[in-house]
Amino acid sequence: MTTPTTPFPRFHLALPVTDLDDTLAFYRDVMACPMGRSDTRWVDLDFFGHQLVLHMVEPDDHPTMATNEVDAHAVPAGHFGPILEWDQFQSLADRFRSHQVAFVIEPYVRFEGKRGEQATMFVKDPSQNYLEFKAFRDINMLFATDLDQA
């Protein structure tokens, strides 16, 4: 098992978007991501300490999303998102609800009462990019292979 370390490298993700204004409003206003540099076809955001860049693309150039079944949910194969503290996760779920953001997969707890207990939820932004948010009861289980053991 590998335990996550801090401080850690920040990641940079360039995300294709089909509507820059609506997608920016989602990240800036709903998720409270501070804005950085911008131009007419892209915007930098502080996404939980990481650099997320929204890049405008034509709708036909936006990738389609395949899914895989996990816990009887159709999980989008292409997705990203931060691993939050348990309370942060609950607050963000409440924030999504208050902004009437539809869940692709409602918040739920996996491996409840077991070593790898974790909360997860999926939403998508206005450009149809899927985001997963997670929280572990014990962050040391992040890379554990025996999550479902008591």
- Average the pLDDT over 69-92 and give the result: 92
DSSP alpha helix (H) spans, 6-98: 20-25, 86-98
- List, for residues 67-80, the tens digit of each pLDDT value: 888 988 888 888 99
Distance CA(26)–CA(21), nearest Å, equals 9
List, in sequence order, every beta strand (DSSP E) within the chain.
Answer: 12-17, 35-38, 42-47, 50-56, 67-70, 73-76, 83-84, 103-110, 118-124, 130-136
Instruction: Say if strands 35-38 and 42-47 run parallel, antiparallel, or are unpaired.
Output: antiparallel
pLDDT digits (tens, 9 = 90+) for 98-114: 999 999 999 999 999 98
Calculate what percentage of the chain has a pLDDT beyond 90: 69
Q: What is the per-residue pLDDT across 2-21, written as a single tens digit (0 to 9) for each?
A: 454 556 788 999 999 999 99
Fold classification of 12-58+65-141 (topology level): 2,3-Dihydroxybiphenyl 1,2-Dioxygenase; domain 1 (3.10.180)
pLDDT at 65 over 80: no
Domain spans in the chain, listed from the N-terminal domain onward: 12-58+65-141
